[in-house]
Amino acid sequence: MGEIDIAWCPGCGNFAILNALKQALSELEIKPERLVVISGIGQAAKAPHYYKCNLFNGLHGRSLPVATAIKASNPELVVVDESGDGCMYGEGGNHFIHAIRRNPDITNIVHNNMVYGLTKGQASPTSLQGFKTLVQREGVFHEAFNPLLIAISLGASFVARAFAGDASQTKDIIKKAISHKGYALVDILQPCVTYNKLNTYQWFKAKTYYLDSSYNPHDRFEALRRASEIEKLPLGIFYLNPRPTFEEKLSVYQERKDPLYKRSPNLTRLTEWIDSKRGI
C-alpha cells in the first residue's frame, strides 16, 4: 500500500476500531491474501482501505449479501464485513435480518456512532430519542434501533458489543468473533467528535459496563434482558448460539470442499439430462 490519506476527523472513534481490528488480525495470524473485507458506504466503510486485505467496498447497505455470497463461493476465505450503523441498520436493515437467519461464517463489525458522519450529521437508526440534528430539529422521536436485541431474537450465533474507547477489550472481542464459526455481530460504540455532541467518550464511559464472568452467554432470555438495558449499556459477549453455517448446509459442499472457482460443470451429466427429453 502506498501513502494513505485517511479521511477521518482527528479524534474519530474509527481510529481506535481500526487499530483494534488490525491488532486482532495480526494476533490471529490471518494473512491478507486469505482475508476479504466487504464494506458499504460511510466513513466507517472506508476503514478497510487502511489495512492490507482483499477489499470489496460496495454499495451503501449492501455489504452483507456480497459477504454471504463470497463466503458461499469460497469457504476457505476469512470474511469480515465492516461498516457503520447507517449502512448496516438503516439502508441494509433487511439484509441484516436475513444474514443473521442464514448464518454465514462471517464477522460483522459495525461502527456505531449513532449519527450519520459522511452525509453530515443526520440521525441514524441508533440515534437516541431527543438527539437534535439539522433534520431532526425537535429531536429524534423514533425509538432507537437495538441491533443486539434483534440479533439475539433471531438466534444469531454470536452477538457482542464493544466500546472503541477500550482498545484492548475491543480487540479481544473482535478476535473471538473472527474465530467463531458462524455469523458474528460486533456492534462497536464509538463517538463522532464532529456530529454527535451527545454520545461523547465521557458519555460512553459513564454509560457502559462489562458483563462479568458470572454471565452466561448461552442463556437467550438473559441475553435479551441485558440487551434491553438502556440506562447503562452492557459490553462484552451477550449471546453464543453455535449452529450450522450457511456454507455447511449448502449441497455443493457435501461431497467436496473446493471453492467454486476451481469447478467445472459436469457436461456428461448435462447431456444425459438433455437426452432424457427425448422421451422415455
Please enumerate in sequence order all residues whose Cβ is within 8 A of that of 69, keeping only pairs 6 or more positions apart, or say none: none
58-87 positions binding another protein, by CB under 8 A: 58-59, 62, 64-70, 72-74, 76-77
Shortest reach from residue 117's CB to another protein, in Å? 15
d(CA 100, CA 92): 12
Q: From the list 143, 168, 214, 279, which residue makes contact with another protein (rule: CB under 8 A)?
A: 279
Shortest reach from residue 134's CB to another protein, in Å? 25
Coil vs helix vs strand at 162: strand
106-125 positions binding another protein, by CB under 8 A: none
Please enumerate in sequence order all residues whose Cβ is within 8 A of that of 26, keeping only pairs 6 or more positions apart, or say none: none
Coil vs helix vs strand at 73: helix
Shortest reach from residue 76's CB to another protein, in Å? 6
Strand intervals (E) in 124-183: 158-163
Q: Which is nearer to another protein, 206 or 274 (CB)?
A: 274
Strands 233-240 and 158-163: antiparallel
Shortest reach from residue 244's CB to another protein, in Å? 15
Q: Does 52 participate in binding another protein (rule CB under 8 A)? A: yes
Residues in the chain: 280
243-262 positions binding another protein, by CB under 8 A: 250-252, 254, 259-262
Q: Does 273 participate in binding another protein (rule CB under 8 A)? A: yes
Q: Nine-digit cell at 53?
A: 486485505
Shortest reach from residue 273's CB to another protein, in Å? 7
Q: Does 216 participate in binding another protein (rule CB under 8 A)? A: no
Please enumerate in sequence order all residues whose Cβ is within 8 A of that of 186, keeping only pairs 6 or more positions apart, or say none: 107, 108, 109, 110, 160, 161, 162, 173, 174, 177
Q: From the list 28, 97, 135, 230, which residue makes contact with another protein (rule: CB under 8 A)?
A: 97
If phi > 0 it is left, if psi is from -120 to 50 it is alpha, else beta; for residue 155 that is: left
Shortest reach from residue 118's CB to another protein, in Å? 11
Count, residues near another protein per rule CB under 8 A:
58
d(CA 184, CA 177): 5
Q: Does 3 participate in binding another protein (rule CB under 8 A)? A: no
Strands 106-112 and 78-84: parallel
Q: Which residue stretch of 55-63, 114-122, 125-133, 149-157 sits at the interface with another protein (rule: CB under 8 A)? A: 55-63
| Residue 161 bridge partners (DSSP) | 187, 236
- Please report, as ranges, the residues that interact with another protein according to CB under 8 A: 1-2, 32-34, 36, 38, 41, 46, 49, 52-59, 62, 64-70, 72-74, 76-77, 94-95, 97-98, 250-252, 254, 259-267, 269-271, 273-275, 277-280
